[in-house]
Structure 1
Amino acid sequence: MKASPSLLYMIKRAELVVRARLDEVLRPVGVTALQYTALTVLERHDGLTAAQLARDSFVTAQSMADMVRTLESRGYVVRHRNPANRRELLISLTETGHRLIAEVDRPVRDLEHRMTGGLTAEQAEHLRVSLEHAWRRLS
């Protein structure tokens, strides 16, 4: 009898297909899944440093520096000095960034519903709680 794939393998496989489908959903608006992730992090926690944004968006600080420049040039984010620490730049979502997130909200939610389509609402919530638990245990 063959052993079942490891849970780590199953999570990685799900992550890769989610990212591919998310890229498909976002392609019409010209942003990548990683850029979208950073924008949604800023939507929830506005005014982050590049290091904080990188950590919460699962990318390196160097990748985030490049991404912030791109997002800033497209008008989705703005950088401003932290009044409490003038050497620190904080990144905030612009109105254009908020509009972009609103524009893709429905197709992103449709993708999530497609992913959880065979689950009851209770099972989907249990999956969400389980993934949060796994993340906290490893963070």
Structure 2
Amino acid sequence: MEECTLLFDVWLVTHLTSRLLDDHLRPLGLTGDEFGLYSLVHTFEPIAPGRISRLTGMAPTTVSGMIRRLTARGHLVQVPNPEDARSRLLRLSDDGRRVTAKAAGILVTILPRLYGALAAGPDAVRAALADLDNALRGMTDVAPRPYATPPARPRDDEPPSITYGGPRLTEAQEAEVRMFIDWLRTRDRGGPART
């Protein structure tokens, strides 16, 4: 077999990620792509459809189709744009917030298993993905990444920001603790953690 390229690697990972998310979110009637959009709207609401397209790189027609589908479910509502009377902004409805929180709860249960299975650890993988994301955004004229990748966890010789007196946690356990902390932070803002 010919040697595959980085782009082929990314294509495979994209589809494997979609399958993992779709399989776990199916009981809620969501796909991984839909949950990603719910999370984006939750984080930046109210948000214009054009901004969604610029942040994600999705075609405007793809964004419009997803918005129609999620609005028909009653999970998205459109509100007037105070800066442009001709356009609308998107927010999650109360039902949209509930389903987003349920989906985030499901994903919280699978992330520690994924993190534990990564040979390089989640911080190293996320740093590499951020590098790839930055390169792809530069080549496709897409808006900068809408969030920063969390810094790598402290080395063993650096003091932790939270003290814990028990035995050393595994990487998967540390990932679960970080996700719980993220959940606590987003709970105070009234919503789920992003994927």
| TM-score, normalised with respect to structure 2 | 0.63
Which structure exhibits the higher relative contact order, with contacts defined as CA atoms closer than 8 Å and separated by 6 or more residues? Answer: 2
Deviations 1:81-130 (A, max 9, x none): 1111111110111221111111111322333333322237x821121122
Q: Who is 2:11 aligned against?
A: 12
The residue type paired with residue 115 of structure 2 is T
Structure 1 unaligned blocks of 5 or more: none
Aligned pairs (5 A) from 1:96-107: 96-107=95-106
**SS, match of residue 87 in structure 1:** coil
Q: Who is 2:76 aligned against?
A: 77
Deviations 1:48-107 (A, max 9, x none): 111212333443211221211121121211111111111111011122111111111132
> How far is 1:4 from its partner?
5.8
Is 1:90 matched with 2:89? yes
Q: Which has the larger radius of gyration?
A: 2
Aligned pairs (5 A) from 1:20-99: 20-99=19-98
Q: Percent identity?
A: 22
Q: Following the alignment from structure 1 to structure 2, what is the Cα–Cα distance between the partners of residues 102 and 11?
A: 28
Q: Following the alignment from structure 2 to structure 1, what is the Cα–Cα distance between the partners of residues 41 and 3?
A: 38
Output the aligned Cα RMSD: 2.1
The residue type paired with residue 16 of structure 1 is H
Is 1:135 matched with 2:138? no
Q: Who is 1:111 aligned against?
A: 110
Q: Which is richer in strand?
A: 1
| TM-score, normalised with respect to structure 1 | 0.85
**SS, match of residue 87 in structure 2:** strand
Structure 2 unaligned blocks of 5 or more: 138-195
> How far is 1:7 from its partner?
2.9
**SS, match of residue 86 in structure 1:** coil
Q: Following the alignment from structure 1 to structure 2, what is the Cα–Cα distance between the partners of residues 58 and 31?
A: 21
Between the two proteins, the alignment pairs up a number of residues equal to 137
Q: Following the alignment from structure 1 to structure 2, what is the Cα–Cα distance between the partners of residues 6 and 107?
A: 33
Q: Following the alignment from structure 2 to structure 1, what is the Cα–Cα distance between the partners of residues 75 and 50?
A: 18
Distance 1:71 1:30, change over 3 A: same
Q: Following the alignment from structure 1 to structure 2, what is the Cα–Cα distance between the partners of residues 38 and 56?
A: 11
Q: Following the alignment from structure 1 to structure 2, what is the Cα–Cα distance between the partners of residues 21 and 118?
A: 14
8 Å CA contact retained: 1:51, 1:61? yes
Identify which range, 93-102 or 52-61, moves more after superposition: 52-61
